[in-house]
Structure 1
Amino acid sequence: MNHLDINQIKEIIPHRHPFLLLDYIEDYVPGEYAVGYKCVSYREEFFAGHFPEEPVMPGVLTVEALAQAGAVAILSLEENKGKIAYFGGINKCKFKGKIIPGDKVRLETKIIRRKGPVGVGEAVASVDGKVVVSAELTFMVG
């Protein structure tokens, strides 16, 4: 298994606080997949307004975290080092549960198609084995 800590992740993708949504990568294979985790704390800045009475991680941020896991997979390829992976589209996105403070979110993105700089990742976020978000993410490496 290929493990990456936060500093190693920052060497691969350009995201930084407060928008770096991965805490560590448990395993990855360049160009194929990445499995990472986000440990959600009540101290996350978005909880101040989403929602004060019932803190819930915004679904769009979960999709972004999945995209960042996919970016680790695709940008760790030698030919993509130092580049950026941009969103090209979000398809088949389903929100099936909520993420709250204290959750450890598993973020898995598998690269299922690639042609030149464009590709598609199949992404699933889960908490305690229960799927909370799934989507098909299109990216473009620039």
Structure 2
Amino acid sequence: MKPEQILPYAKPWILIDDMQYEESAGWATSKKLVSSSDHYVRGHFPEQSIYPGVLLAEGMVQTIEAVLLHEKICMKLVEATSRFLRPAVPGDEVHFVVKICDRQADRWVCEGTGFVDEQQMIHSTMTFAK
């Protein structure tokens, strides 16, 4: 599934490059290739460019937003907590895995993890509600 065909944003604000959704299993995966040409990277710690952590968390949020829009469910992010374990740098391909842990008619609670080369770099818990 192509995020730009579902999400109501335009590049450069779509922060995932590709995604898959397995409805029966209750999880979605997406990826983001961090490039030195991403304008968020330039100037963010100029001595060592890194991809801003808040944008990593937003990539996981956009993954679930795409699932919600695909299923025609109207919910918005109401709460999120994230733990950053290591930075993403240009050249990294970040793989997000987001699991829907509690799925109710008016609320979803999701847990997401971001990996680079199988090394965990971010973990988030997100609540979406009507």
Q: Say yes or no: TM over 0.5.
A: yes
Using the alignment, how far apart are the partners of 2:27 and 2:42 within structure 1? 33
Letter in 1 for 2:78: G
* Aligned partner of 2:30 among 15, 26, 36: 36
The alignment-based identity, stated in percent, is 28
Find the counterpart in structure 2 of residue 111 from structure 1. Answer: 100
Using the alignment, how far apart are the partners of 1:140 and 1:65 within structure 2? 18
Matched, 1:128 2:117: yes
Using the alignment, how far apart are the partners of 2:11 and 2:5 within structure 1? 14
Using the alignment, how far apart are the partners of 1:140 and 1:13 within structure 2? 18
Using the alignment, how far apart are the partners of 2:66 and 2:23 within structure 1? 8
Query: 1:70 offset after TM fit, Å?
Result: 1.6
Structure with the bigger percentage of helix = 1
Query: 1:117 offset after TM fit, Å?
Result: 3.1
* Aligned partner of 1:16 among 10, 14, 22: 10
Matched, 1:70 2:64: yes
Using the alignment, how far apart are the partners of 2:9 and 2:126 within structure 1? 18
Aligned length: 129
* Aligned partner of 1:89 among 67, 76, 79: 79
Letter in 2 for 1:62: L
* Aligned partner of 2:39 among 19, 35, 45: 45
- Give the match's secondary structure for 1:55: coil
- Give the match's secondary structure for 2:101: strand
Runs of 4+ in 1 over 4 A off after TM superposition: none
Structure 1-normalised TM-score? 0.82
